Amino acid sequence: MLPSMAGLSEHTREQIALHRQVAHMYRRRSAYPFAEAFQDERNAILMSLAPARPAPGPAGTAATDVPAAATVRALDLGCGTGITIDLLVERYGEAVGVDVSQEMLDGYQRGPDSPVELVRADMAALPFLEGRFDVVVCRSALHHMDDEVGVLSEICRVLAPDGSLILGEPANDNVLTRAARWWVRRRPSFGKLHTIDRAYTRRQLRELLEQAGLEVRREQRFGFIAYPLCDNPDLVPVLKLLPFAGGIAAALRAVDRLLARIPVVKNQSWYTMLEVGRRTGRP
């Protein structure tokens, strides 16, 4: 349960008010097929970093790439309207979603027999026991937090000792992406959509994780040319004005996939995805 508004920080109250206004934006974005296809591709890559569901072996033993348990306990932090929850359910059979905004949670269409549990809570004070979850997904939420290390420390607390945090965040290694973000922040529409909104260099993100007792296991970079045009049609309304937008976007995504394979180029992406675990030697 979320504590009373009086007990929340000013930033958390701002985030609740913000998402009350913009929950509809996330639903509207899915109305553009090229934007939805872009999100689907990013989510598929993100989930490829998550451990597979344990499957019985010939003698009934569990697979070794996940904690040996009857089920994988999965948590989606900053779940919003449920972009990744269904993917977690598809892989693990059930999932818990957390968001500070009731309007965001209300945007998730959940049936009466859904294996999804939705919890309204502050990511800086999660209402779960230590080591509760085997897999935690935090997609594009950390950069909205006023205390990133505090949030990551809470994730480390609720993460099982051998568990995996699947983290996706905007990257800021490329001078061109930094310039583009500078321009977007000065557009009148930006202030209506965001309060705190950061992007991280590769080094900055690792330093935050290290301070919280976490370390990177795997990294996948994503998004080059397609990212600014497909990710948010409201902020960059180019493709939605063009004919054959779907075909153009598909071609741009194909170019992005090629760029992500080039060692020198891939670290210049707009977005980074990580599999993270508790730091070696940490109890």
The answer, yes or no, to whether residue 63 has pLDDT greater than 50, is no
**Residue 272, both tokens:** 């980074």
Q: Compute the mean pLDDT over every residue in the chain, rounded to the nearest whole number.
A: 84
Tally of structural domains, the chain: 1
Beta-carbon contacts of residue 248 (< 8 Å; ≥ 6 apart): 34, 239, 242
CATH number where 171 lies = 3.40.50.150
Task: Quote the pTM value.
Answer: 0.83
Q: Is residue 76 part of a domain?
A: yes
Q: What is the pLDDT at residue 55? A: 53
Average pLDDT estimate for 232-255: 91
Q: By residue range, what is the domain housing residue 161?
A: 5-278
Q: What is the pLDDT of residues 194-223, one digit of tens each?
A: 444 689 999 999 999 999 999 999 999 999
Average pLDDT estimate for 186-198: 56
**47 in Cβ contact with 215 (< 8 Å):** no
CA 2, CA 189: separation in Å to the nearest integer? Answer: 29
Percent of the chain whose predicted confidence (pLDDT) is above 70: 77
The answer, yes or no, to whether residue 255 has pLDDT greater than 60, is yes
Angle at 206 between CA 201 and CA 212, to 5 degrees: 135
Q: What is the pLDDT at residue 201? A: 94
Distances (CA, A) of 254 to 136, 169, 250: 29, 21, 6
Distances (CA, A) of 19 to 9, 78, 127, 128, 192: 16, 11, 21, 23, 10
**DSSP-derived pairing of the beta strands 95-99 and 159-170:** unpaired
Q: How is residue 108 annotated by DSSP? A: S
Q: Is residue 283 part of a domain?
A: no
Percent of the chain whose predicted confidence (pLDDT) is above 90: 59
Q: Please give the full DSSP string across 156-178, using - where no structure is assigned.
A: HHHEEEEEEEEEEEEB---HHHH
Q: What is the pLDDT of residues 36-56, one digit of tens each?
A: 999 999 999 999 999 987 655
Q: What is the pLDDT of residues 3-40, one digit of tens each?
A: 444 455 555 555 555 555 555 555 566 678 999 999 99
**Residue 165, both tokens:** 């945090």
